[in-house]
Structure 1
Amino acid sequence: MTFTPESLFGRLDDVQADAGYDDEHPPRMGFFTDTSICIGCKACEVACKEWNMVPDDGFVLSGMSYDNTQSLNANTWRHVAFIEQPVDVPVPEGSGPRPAAAGTDLGMPTVGVPQGLPQINDQEAPSGDGGVRWLMSSDVCKHCTHAGCLDNCPTGALFRTEFGTVVVQPDICNGCGYCVPSCPYGVIDVREGDGRAWKCTMCYDRLKVDETPMCAKACPTQSIQFGELTELRERAQARVEELHDQGVEVARLYGADPEDGVGGDGAFFLLLDEPEVYGLPPDPVVTTRDLGSIWKHVGAAAVGLAALGAASFLGGRR
């Protein structure tokens, strides 16, 4: 494999070829998660744990939400986020527009409610004198085009599969933890008591026998869709346009753009609010993007130090 700058950042249309696979490799596979039809059942979380034998999370409620897992970690490879936002009861027809909803601080960063939010009724239910807008989303490792965890692993424990996904080999992982700060999404984690890094494998063992990953197979609403990444992106764009036609102006895709800071994600999402509301970074960037600039400055500094040393030596001889 010949190294090119595109191996570390920028658009990359064939991640498998870049990783050294020949032209006969399978198409890149991925997840498209449509949060507009997620019902928060957590079937994906349970199916993932059962198939991959992932340990339990302690069964401890945080007291902040109905969500008992709170985030992705070494023991949670699929995480269904519950985001509750209070809204006013819909006003009677003909009495004017309904006031916009106000966000609730649940420990995740928020940026307010985008224009057009009052038109969304998909995940909203009245309760008492007010109501609650439920935003639910099944989060997972993004299997980035440019994966910082993979690029910064010193032992080769992380590798790119023939399907374009990123997998940890636990028998090679030495627990150094370099991968953890390298992930712009905060996905990969070191398991307490085990010392090794763990994350979603997109059920690599199932992909090798042409089976669907368990989370997508268990999803009762098809919120999690699995397939060829190119086809999923087309399907997702059509879904966004469909929602826009229905008046859901805030619907947008997250992680589907191959020109973004990680070269596009292998697992991307349709969101009904700003990424920060879901606990997602608004502009993720792979850590290796700035390596060229860093080495350029290091080289300049080295040349400057060498010149200073030479000048000091020559000056001392005088």
Structure 2
Amino acid sequence: MSEERVGFFTDTSVCIGCKACEVACKEWNALPEDGLSLTGMSYDNTQALGASSWRHVAFIEQAAPQGRTQLPLVEADSAKGPAPGPLGAAAPGSSGAASLGSSREASPGPSGGASSTDMRWLMSSDVCKHCTHAACLDVCPTGSLFRTEFGTVVVQEDICNGCGYCVPACPYGVIEQRPHDGRAFKCTLCYDRLGAGQEPACAKACPTESIQFGPLDELRERAALRVDELHEAGVDEARLYGHDPADGVGGDGAFFLLLDRPEVYGLPPDPVVTTRDLPAMWKHAAGAALSLLGGVAAAFALVGRRRP
């Protein structure tokens, strides 16, 4: 890499679910429209990352933990009214001073738990993780997938032959093939914008700076400070995901601050590069091939000695 490695830090505690990142991504990259059908899944109309959805804002509605207090995770002027929610609507449970990661104090319901009306929303803008050890790179037979000088992973759509090997190789289920031609697509971290010295479109459009772009080492330091800040504020469940270079994929180029377990957000708790065993597999395969060739040679030699 000739440039400093860059990436995303997504702080879900300040995400308001406005979907500005989704719109900016589609607009800049000229992605086909999708997610327009009624899904019955609340505001989460895109549902998942895919070939035409390189950013996906997840909406998770859950009962507020009993005894949880309202926390001003995002300082806001109460005179400005509630924080905006999806499609410009007021966010569920927002009061202008609290972020969407919090809710009012839960009161006991009939069964002793939280009342059915005491809910909270967890929101997170998901994206390709641009893994340090990217399995998709290992399995691509055409070189369509490559690592850029910024440390990101990009698909060259004009070279992709539609083999689909990269789809099951991704531990996060990010890559998808478009049905009409079979080619694979995913987030490029706006490679064209990076080359021009600009930040990715999604980060530029984010109104709360939930999506932060910059040098990866600086983002990791900033994220650690943010977690400490939330813990001091009483948000004990705040944690980082994908930031550790010692994890199963060598750390992600796009990592997250979460307010619940990764599984709640649809993320694997312990992702592992799916091609980690390839070197050992090739070694065993080579040994087996040599043994087979040796057996064949020995058989021919034995037949030759028995001939008169």
Residue of structure 2 equivalent to 1:204: 191
Once the two structures are TM-superposed, the CA of residue 273 in structure 1 deviates from its matched residue by 1.1
User: Structure 1 pair 27/297, CA: closer, same or farther in 2 (3 Å)?
Assistant: same
2:110 counterpart of 1:123: no
Rg larger in structure: 2
Q: Using the alignment, how far apart are the partners of 1:136 and 1:194 within structure 2?
A: 33
State the partner residue of 1:164.
151
Match of 2:57 among 66, 80, 84: 80
1:31-110 correspondence runs (5 A): 31-87=8-64
Q: 1:276 matched to which residue of 2? A: 263
1:49 maps to a residue whose letter is K
**C-alpha contact (below 8 Å) 1:123/1:134 kept by paired residues:** yes
Instruction: Tell me how far 1:301 sits from its aligned partner.
Output: 2.8
- In the TM superposition, what are the counterparts of 1:176-187 in structure 2 within 5 Å? 176-187=163-174
The equivalent position to 1:288 in structure 2, one of 264, 271, 275, is 275
Report the CA distance between 1:302 and its aligned residue: 3.0
Offset from partner CA, 1:5-55 (integer Å, 9 cap, x none)? xxxxxxxxxxx2xxxxxxxx2211100000111111111001100111111
Q: Deviation digits for residues 211-254 of structure 1, max 9, x if unmatched?
A: 11110111111000000111000000111111111222221111
Superimposed CA distance per residue, residues 67-111 of structure 1 (whole angstroms, 9 cap, x where no aligned partner): 00000000100000111112377599xxxxxxxxxxxxxxxxxxx
Q: Is the 8 A contact 1:89 1:131 kept in 2?
A: no
User: Pairwise mapping of residues 214-225 of structure 1 onto structure 2 (< 5 A)?
Assistant: 214-225=201-212
Equivalent AA in structure 1 for residue 272 of structure 2: V
Deviates more, 1:137-146 or 1:293-302: 293-302
Q: How does 1:10-49 map to 2 (within 5 A)?
A: 16=1, 25-49=2-26
Q: 1:274 to 1:70 in 2, by over 3 A?
A: same
Letter in 2 for 1:289: R
Aligned sequence identity (%): 69
Tell me, in whole angstroms, the C-alpha distance in 1 between the residues paired with 2:294 and 2:159.
43
C-alpha contact 1:89 1:129 (8 A) present in aligned 2: no
Instruction: After superposition, give the CA deviation of every residue in 1:291-311 in whole Å (9 maximum; x if it has no partner).
Output: 122123223433443455466
Tell me the distance in 2 between the aligned counterparts of 1:201 and 1:239: 27
2:224 counterpart residue number: 237
- Distance of 1:147 and 1:261 partners within structure 2: 11
Q: Please identify runs of 4+ aligned residues in structure 1 that moved more than 4 A.
A: 88-92, 125-129, 306-318
The letter for the 2-side match of 1:41 is C
SS at the partner of 1:33? strand
Between the aligned partners of 1:58 and 1:133, the Cα distance in structure 2 is 24
Secondary structure of the structure 2 residue equivalent to 1:288:
coil
Q: Which amino acid aligns with 1:51?
A: W
8 Å CA contact 2:68, 2:103 repeated in 1: no
Give the whole-Å Cα distance in 1 for the aligned partners of 2:67 and 2:260.
19
> Using the alignment, how far apart are the partners of 1:261 and 1:295 within structure 2?
20
| In 2: Cα distance, 1:194 partner to 1:311 partner | 50
Structure-2 change in CA distance of 1:154 and 1:91 (3 Å): closer
Deviations 1:103-132 (A, max 9, x none): xxxxxxxxxxxxxxxxx9843357975311
Instruction: Describe the SS at the equivalent of 1:289.
Output: coil
1:277 to 1:58, Cα distance in 2 relative to 1, 3 A: closer
Larger RCO of the pair (alpha carbons < 8 Å, separation 6+)? 1
Indicate the residue corresponding to 1:6 in structure 2: none
| Structure 1 range deviating more: 63-72 or 73-82 | 63-72
The CA deviation string for residues 157-200 of structure 1, in whole angstroms up to 9 with x for no partner, is: 11111111111111111111111111111101111213211111
Which secondary structure does the structure 2 equivalent of 1:130 belong to?
Answer: coil
**Residue type at the aligned position of 1:123:** S
Tell me if the contact between 1:89 and 1:130 (Cα under 8 Å) persists in the aligned partners.
Answer: no
Q: Which amino acid aligns with 1:36?
A: S
Q: Please give the root-mean-square deviation of Cα atoms over the aligned residues, in Å.
A: 2.4
User: Which one of 208, 227, 246 corresponds to residue 259 of structure 1?
Assistant: 246
Aligned partner of residue 124 in structure 1, secondary structure: coil
What amino acid does structure 1 have at the position aligned with 2:44? D
Query: In 2 relative to 1, CA 61–305 (structure 1 residues): closer, same or farther, beyond 3 Å?
Result: same
**Residues 101 and 123 in structure 2, CA contact (< 8 A), matched pair in contact too:** no
